[in-house]
Amino acid sequence: MNVQNTVDLSNSTKAPSDWWRGGVIYQIYPRSFQDSNGDGIGDLKGITQRLDYIASLGVDAIWISPFFKSPMKDFGYDVSDYRDVDPMFGSLEDFQELLGQAHAKGLKVMIDLVLSHTSDQHPWFSESRASRDNPKSDWYVWADPKPDGTPPNNWLSIFGGSAWQWDPRRLQYYLHNFLTSQPDLNFHCEQVQDALLDVARFWLEMGVDGFRLDTINFYFHDKQLRDNPALPVEERNASIAPAVNPYNHQNHLYSKSQPENIAFLERLRALTNEYEGRACLGEVGDAQRGLEIMGEYTSGDARMHMCYAFEFLEKRALTAAYAKQVFDQLQAKAGDAWPCWAFSNHDVQRHASRWNLSDAATRQHAVLMMCLRGSACLYQGEELGLPEADVPFERLQDPYGVEFWPGFKGRDGCRTPMVWATQDEQSGFSTGEPWLPVSAAQSERAVDRMEADDQSMLHHYRRAIALRHAHPALAAGAQSEMEQVGPVLVFRRENPNEEVFCAFNLGSEAGQVDLPSGSWQAIGQDIGSVTGEGRVTLQPAEFCLMRKDKG
């Protein structure tokens, strides 16, 4: 079994500034986490109230989805003021209180920076659209129509339709890769880059520990505005957009992932390097080149600290064959990349439902994530094993779901309120009517019920996270080439002090693996690890973890 990524970066040797390498990050969607004032919308004070719970999970950091001032057309991912908190979430003082209390409990705080675009209500855009010769006239991507009045090229919006919107003030089109109310900033303009770096510095000065960078490969566009080529039918991949969306019909060579992006990422990294222990996590949205771009963006020490792609966020089940394929591709395209793995987040169906996992399989997948090389991201409620919520059309809030219903129901099903107390009003999320309905099926898995059962999914996640922290080789050691033995995924993690053997049956039938010779000790029995000697039979959803000291 060949060992890849042999540079050892285990917890026993890494500096405090490398907390992110192999760290476990807990994503909070603030609208749906905890409402402190009864208006039905979660807020910053609500997060602060729940910090003890988050710290009890054993995670290293929290990532908070956007809470900046916004008209909320895309629920905060359309920013109208980067330097202030939207009143529905509280105030800057509330955030500073959250930050201080999180740090006191040993939690890092990462915030979600949306730099590729703003709201159309941002003052920058109001000025830019006013004329073709004002100081911010080129801060957004403007283009003249073709002679027949149609958009300048064939680029498509992820949210449906053309990526170009006509503006009667300038008599030009502006680019929007998402909603028409989310115009794209022009990163070819250095003043735009400078302004956005000033935004990052504002939050770094306040004391945040890093940034999750939304749509990091969308920053630059092709200056020549060349048409995207068609993507052959057999290559269309619905991992970035739902299958009903024609966005999947193009190979997005020119509308995103441009080479000029590297230089800006290096500027951003240089800024964060001025502050001790800060980290950048980039979201790479590309169905064809995600792993390759991840490698480009995390290569060396001058770009992003880590990135995540969508390979484990798509509908395709996480089988042994697929996991091996992903890691083989990652090694071939970007052997020194530092990935951050997630199975669920605020944009995709919860993985327990997406992959139709049993409770046993959900538990197994949690342990698998803690054993994979890279950092790990958990989405609020994942630790409860929450299924996707069923939100009826009349209660939908997500414009993406409204546009493509019923073929795609949008993202509201993974964004419903966190369930804290089974018998409480709105499951303890709010005393008022929530912005999305509380799921009855999810309420059965509320935190209070899970806390009372030491064999619950919640306690299992705690033990799985503790396992990762207890074994530095799992957190940041080298990883061997993966092997597929029937339905079983097999690999090793190691550092100079220990080696960990990992085997996971990700299939629907029993499989057998030969345990390696040597003085191995079984670990993880409290999370369900199967023990044995010689050859071990693993039933579906079972796994085996063994470790040995290295001389």
d(CA 436, CA 201): 34
Active site residues: 214, 274
162: DSSP letter: B
Residue whose structure tokens are 């399989």? 361
For residue 165, report the phi and psi dihedrals to the nearest 5 degrees.
-125, 130
Pairing label, strands 488-494, 498-505: antiparallel
The candidate with the shortest Cα–Cα distance to 522, out of 500, 490, 497, is: 500
Pairing label, strands 375-379, 24-28: parallel
The candidate with the shortest Cα–Cα distance to 24, out of 67, 47, 57, is: 57
Distances (CA, A) of 282 to 22, 111, 413: 15, 12, 24
In sequence order, what DSSP letters do the residues of 402-436 get, joined into one string?
A: HHHTTT---SGGGTSPP---TTSGGGGS-SS--SS
Question: How many other β-carbons are positioned within 10 Å of the β-carbon of residue 158?
Answer: 20
Q: How many Cα atoms within 13 Å fall on the side-chain side of residue 301?
A: 3
- Is 244 buried (19+), middle (13-18) or exposed (0-12) by CB count in 10 A? middle
For residue 515, report the phi and psi dihedrals to the nearest 5 degrees.
-75, 140
Distances (CA, A) of 13 to 25, 276, 337, 472, 497: 21, 17, 19, 9, 11
What six digits make up the tokens of 396?
A: 């939908």
Contact between 160 and 401 under an 8 Å Cβ cutoff? The reply is no
Contact between 513 and 544 under an 8 Å Cβ cutoff? The reply is yes
Q: Is 141 left (phi over 0), alpha (psi -120 to 50) or beta?
A: beta
- Helix (H) / strand (E) containing 62: strand 61-64
Pairing label, strands 511-514, 488-494: unpaired
515-520-524 Cα angle (round to 5)? 90
